[in-house]
Each structure stands twice: as structure tokens, then as C-alpha cells.
């Protein structure tokens, strides 16, 4: 029997200018736009610094459990 658990906290500050460039040029999907923009429906060409979600603080958690059995057939 084996099990593992990981937890990783992320506290990031985004560069609004870079985010605007990515949003305007990368063809992001609606989920990605919701992560980066205060109003994901806003016209990408009209974005300003205030439209960017500048701070991204989140925790990623993952785990797994594995069971196995072996026997010798010799």
C-alpha cells in the first residue's frame, strides 16, 4: 500500500502589461480569461491595468493511493 499527498501555495503578482499582451495575442479560452481579467467579456483591445487580476494567490493540492499484490510463481 502506498499513498502520497502534495500541497503547494502560490502567491504571485502579475505584470499587467504582459497580461494585456497575452490576452490580445494568445487566443485564450473563457476559463483562462476569467483567471486574468476582472471582466472577461471586455474587448481585449480596450484593456487597461485596472482590468487585470494582478494578484494570484492559490493552493494546489493533489494526492493518490496505490495498492498492489505480488506473489512468486517460481
Residue-level pLDDT at 27: 87
pLDDT per residue as tens digits for the range 18-71: 999 999 999 899 999 999 999 998 998 999 999 999 999 999 999 999 999 888
Residue-level pLDDT at 72: 87
CB 33 within 8 A of CB 40: yes
pLDDT band for 74, please (50, 70, 90 cuts): confident
Nearby residues of 20 by Cβ (< 8 Å), 6 or more positions away = 44, 47, 48, 49, 51, 52
Residue-level pLDDT at 73: 85
Does pTM surpass 0.85?
no
Amino acid at each position: 500500500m502506498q499513498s502520497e499527498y502534495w500541497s503547494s501555495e502560490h502567491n504571485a503578482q502579475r505584470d499587467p502589461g504582459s497580461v494585456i499582451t497575452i490576452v490580445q495575442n494568445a487566443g485564450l479560452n473563457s476559463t483562462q480569461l476569467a483567471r486574468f481579467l476582472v471582466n472577461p467579456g471586455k474587448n481585449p483591445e480596450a484593456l487597461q491595468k485596472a482590468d487585470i487580476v494582478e494578484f494570484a494567490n492559490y493552493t494546489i493540492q493533489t494526492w493518490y493511493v496505490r495498492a498492489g499484490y505480488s506473489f512468486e510463481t517460481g
